Structure 1
Amino acid sequence: MRRRDLARLALAGGAVLAAPAVRAQGGGAGAWPSRPIRLIVPFTPGGSTDGMARLAGQKLQERLGQTVIVENRPGGNGTVGGIAVAQSAPDGHTFCASASIQVMARWVMRNPGYDPLADLVPVARTGQGPLLLCISPTRSPASITDLVAAVKADPRAWTFGTSSLGAAGHLATVEFNRLTGLDIPIASYRGTAPAVQDLVAGNIQLMVDPMLAMVPQVRGGRVRALAISQARRSAAAQEVPSAPEAGLPGWEFFSWWGLWAPRGIPAEIAARVNAALQKGMREPEVVSRLTDMGIEAVAESPEAFAGFIQRDVARNSELLRLARFEPE
């Protein structure tokens, strides 16, 4: 992946904001959308969630003929933006564009302020992809095996950073500690960008985050990748060893991205958004672009997305229980 790949997704937001509004024709549900659609991203610009949201927004705009505005509302491990969507009118003009973290608020926070499983309706899952375990350039281990030895020799010298509690990177880090028998502290940030800054500077030493965000950092020489969180190498980063190759078989984790609506959205509108994204995310140019970044485009119904969430939450909540994670 080239350094500008993530920027290409983010720059799509410029087109989203600039396009003129065109009212859909027809009456009843067919009159929707009657004004610009907002995609609220619960994290800072520049990360994988923001990039995927802007790509989804571009495809919705092209297929619905209405301006789509991407609005970043970071804070509270995604709950600030999530609550804003949950409290919005369920008329199909406001959606939450987020990642797997969005459904884990109840398990990582004592008082998230809302229930994402009850207050938000799954509309469409747009993609999924593995994660990279990255290390600060100030440190020398070249594999997970080397890392484990270094941490055991000096445990106080190591800290993981994570973009947010409950994010795929955080859960993969918890599983990393469990599988290795280590207890490396995990520092939570308000998004990927500030965590990467501290990783580059050596203020934290390790980080696990989606390929979409981390491969440009690796290719730019700002951090080093020790492994990818799956059993095989990725065509998007052939130089990065798989988890088993690096010394940790069984470490498999993926991030995923999607759209949610406020509870009460008409099923017809949710179905139209889902159909627009199924078609848009399966365009050959989009599939090719995502594949180059280690992401698999996903096209499934709202019902299939809801079922997927149930299984994902069951797995991850059990992982947190086994790790004796205490909500903050």
Structure 2
Amino acid sequence: MISTKRWLAAAVAATAALTLPALTLAQAFPAKPVKIVVPYPPGGTNDIVVRLLAQKLGDSMGQPFVVENKPGASGNLGAEQVARAAPDGYTLLLVTTGHSIHPSLYKHLRYNIKTDLTPVSELTRGPMLVMVTPSLPYKTVQDVIAAAKAKPGSINFGSAGNGSSTHLATELLSSMAGVKMTHIPYSGSAPAMADVMAGNAQLVMDLMFSALPQVNGGKLRAIAITGAKRSPLLPGVPTVAESGVPGFETLAWNGLMAPANTPKPIIDKLNAEIHKALDAPEMKERLRAQGFEPSPGTPEQFGALIRAEIDRWATVVKTSGAKVE
């Protein structure tokens, strides 16, 4: 009995010895500036969200949170960099819907989002708008579906590029509506919307943040929103599900990840501070005004979302035949 008690005491002491350094490390964290890698050019929707958050985190945690833009390879270049960084909490990565598409789209990724990175927290979610050229007679999604059924392939839709979230979201809509539309890839959302405004393509999906100025200016007509409910920013625009495609819903999301094996106490500390920042009334107001909904959760919840999205978009990639040249 005595030996058993001694063994248990030794085991508890050993566990405490292993846990204590991580806890001490988390208590001291951050002791220097923290870098958030945004794998896209500056000025975009995700970049704006991160810069708002970085300011809040820096104020609350006593060290600067520095945003570093690392564009390239559709967001994969920055992801590779962070996947190889030291797992100490001082290098974080902004991930988006696109990162859950890439495992099924790229044959030779140089990082594995499931094993080389660990979730910290989801940040925001936001619906996209389905928009058409205002000079066209299409006022609803059903009008577009009817035209596509009458003449398959006659509706051209633009996207931010092959395999982009805007491309695959439109392919998902086509599949669920039982129609065939012709995809025209562009080198980003802005040229895709510009060509629809010019009438060279007829339909495009994009985030509300990017699309609202064009819709409010009358340059594009919003016929549906991809979320489960209408947006207070455009209350007269119905959801796709309301418009005759029941069950359709897709949201663009973003969040932060860290290199795999980053100590859990540090992950938990970052997660708690992100919750606090996104719960601030002024942050909610600024994000919602741009079409984003703050959506922080636990690291485990964010990991579950990423895995579910990987599976979901793999099906759409396969069905659509999307490829990256």
TM-score range, shorter chain: 0.7 to 0.9
Cα shift at 1:74: 2.3
- Distance (whole Å) between structure 2 residues aligned to residue 28 and residue 122 of structure 1: 19
1:136–1:202 contact (8 Å) kept in structure 2: yes
Q: Which residue in the other structure is 1:270 paired with?
A: 267
1:70 matched to 2:63: no
Structure 2: state its 5+ residue gaps.
1-22
Cα shift at 1:73: 2.3
Cα shift at 1:164: 4.7
How many residue pairs get matched? 303
- Alpha carbons of structure 1 residues 172 and 228: separation in structure 2 relative to 1, 3 Å: same
Q: Which residue in the other structure is 1:22 paired with?
A: none
Superposed CA offset, 1:206-233 (max 9, x none): 2212223222321133322110113432
1:163 matched to 2:160: yes
SS of the counterpart of 1:79?
helix
1:77–1:166 contact (8 Å) kept in structure 2: no
What is the letter of the counterpart of residue 122 of structure 1? P
Superposed CA offset, 1:96-155 (max 9, x none): 113121122111122233222221111110111222111234544221122223334555
2:96 aligns with one of 82, 95, 99: 99
- Alpha carbons of structure 1 residues 162 and 44: separation in structure 2 relative to 1, 3 Å: farther
- Distance (whole Å) between structure 1 residues aligned to residue 84 and residue 191 of structure 2: 28
Q: Which residue in the other structure is 2:115 paired with?
A: 118
SS of the counterpart of 2:100?
helix
Q: After the TM superposition, which parts of structure 1 deviate over 6 Å for at least 4 consecutive aligned residues?
A: none
What is the letter of the counterpart of residue 285 of structure 2? S
Q: Which residue in the other structure is 2:141 paired with?
A: 144
- Alpha carbons of structure 1 residues 197 and 70: separation in structure 2 relative to 1, 3 Å: farther
Cα shift at 1:277: 0.6
- Distance (whole Å) between structure 1 residues aligned to residue 314 and residue 59 of structure 2: 37
Rg larger for: 2
What is the letter of the counterpart of residue 175 of structure 1? L
- Alpha carbons of structure 1 residues 69 and 321: separation in structure 2 relative to 1, 3 Å: same
Give the TM-score normalised by structure 2: 0.82
Alignment RMSD: 2.6
1:129 matched to 2:99: no
1:132–1:209 contact (8 Å) kept in structure 2: yes
Q: Which residue in the other structure is 1:209 paired with?
A: 206
- Distance (whole Å) between structure 2 residues aligned to residue 143 and residue 76 of structure 1: 35
Percentage of identical aligned residues:
36
**Correspondences of 1:156-235 after superposition (within 5 Å):** 157-235=154-232
Cα shift at 1:290: 2.7
1:90 matched to 2:87: yes
What is the letter of the counterpart of residue 141 of structure 1? Y
1:85–1:94 contact (8 Å) kept in structure 2: yes
What is the letter of the counterpart of residue 239 of structure 1? G
SS of the counterpart of 2:268?
helix
- Distance (whole Å) between structure 2 residues aligned to residue 58 and residue 65 of structure 1: 11
Cα shift at 1:189: 4.1
1:57–1:69 contact (8 Å) kept in structure 2: yes
2:149–2:180 contact (8 Å) kept in structure 1: no
Q: Which residue in the other structure is 2:18 paired with?
A: none
Give the TM-score normalised by structure 1: 0.82
Cα shift at 1:166: 4.8
What is the letter of the counterpart of residue 230 of structure 1? G
- Alpha carbons of structure 1 residues 102 and 121: separation in structure 2 relative to 1, 3 Å: same
- Alpha carbons of structure 1 residues 192 and 324: separation in structure 2 relative to 1, 3 Å: closer
- Distance (whole Å) between structure 1 residues aligned to residue 105 and residue 70 of structure 2: 19
1:50 matched to 2:47: yes
- Alpha carbons of structure 1 residues 195 and 83: separation in structure 2 relative to 1, 3 Å: farther
1:133–1:226 contact (8 Å) kept in structure 2: yes
- Distance (whole Å) between structure 1 residues aligned to residue 188 and residue 113 of structure 2: 19
